[in-house]
Amino acid sequence: MKKKTNFHMPSKYVLLFVTLFCAALIFLTYSVDKVSGPIRTVANYTIIPMQKGLNQIGLWIEDRGNYFVDLNATLEENARLQEELEELKVTNSEILLKRSEYERMQELLELKDEYSDYETVGAKVINKGAENWFNTFIINKGSEDGIEKDMNVITKGGLVGIVITVGPDWAQVRSIIDDSSSVSSMMLSSSDPCFIRGDLKLLNEGEIRFEQLENNENEIAEGEQVVTSNTSEKFLPGFLVGYVTDISVDANNLTRSGTVTPAVDFKQLQEVLVVKTLKKQIDIE
């Protein structure tokens, strides 16, 4: 015996209706970003708390896996590091001495360290993305912590990515290894501009691509540092992106391209720093 339902809509009409609804959503997010706000707020109270908890389990499993593999290696490494530590203690004191000297000189020259005074906020990676095609992740800080769209995300090693969407308590970050990411950068030694593009094809080798580097007389050697450039629209200048591993002249003979190993280990990414200064603000100043 089935209960009588008063109204029954054939599934093809439902399909049509929801299709139109989706199309409208796509259109609305594309033209005016009004829809995503409420949805993202709802997500804040449903998915995010669960993810925060479960990611801990994920990390724990990863840790266990690494634990056994690493134990032997760690013991050997430990012995080696002990020796190294002794040596480093000596060099460290030398360096400290030199640094105080350097600071004094800097004061004399009245050089201001531009990059050290960016205000940053620490955040944890709580979700590494549910897609194999793209490399975005979610962090546990959002608009309530002062995070805004287009803020740069870094670690101590270098540039990680950029904030693309913000919820009240979370934000989505597109990493520089993402296939659709493009960062305007430059070679450190020659200051020649180039573009750093993520490439899914190079992802497994742990590399990204640089393109459109002018083919001039400036030699670029392997290991050359690539940093974000002044001309970038969204990225702050001077963040380390990675090291050149391979370089070749393009077919047009005008530009060079090649691969770069990112300075950040994206597989082990757990904590990041969000730079609260936006590129726009600097440009205005």
Q: How far is CA 141 from CA 87, 109, 119, 121, 233, in A?
A: 40, 39, 15, 9, 23
Q: Among the candidate windows 113-121, 143-151, 197-205, 218-226, which touches another protein by CB under 8 A?
A: 197-205
Identified binder of another protein from the candidate list 152, 172, 259, 261, rule CB under 8 A: 172
What are the backbone dihedrals phi and psi of residue 241, each rounded to the nearest 5 degrees, phi first?
-95, -45
- Cβ–Cβ under 8 Å, residues 202 and 186: no
Separation of alpha carbons 53 and 7, rounded Å = 42
Identified binder of another protein from the candidate list 121, 188, 202, 203, rule CB under 8 A: 203
131 binds another protein (CB under 8 A): yes
Separation of alpha carbons 55 and 45, rounded Å = 16
* Residue with Cβ nearer another protein (43 or 278): 43
Q: Which of residues 69-108 bind another protein (CB under 8 A)?
A: none
Indicate the DSSP class of residue 225.
E
Indicate the DSSP class of residue 193.
E
Tokens in use for 244?
Answer: 């050149």
* Residue with Cβ nearer another protein (48 or 220): 48
Identified binder of another protein from the candidate list 4, 5, 7, 11, rule CB under 8 A: 11
Binding interface with another protein (CB under 8 A): 1-3, 11, 14-15, 18-19, 21-26, 28-30, 35-36, 39-40, 43, 46-47, 50-51, 54-55, 57-59, 61-62, 126-134, 136, 138, 164, 172, 179-180, 200-201, 203-204, 267
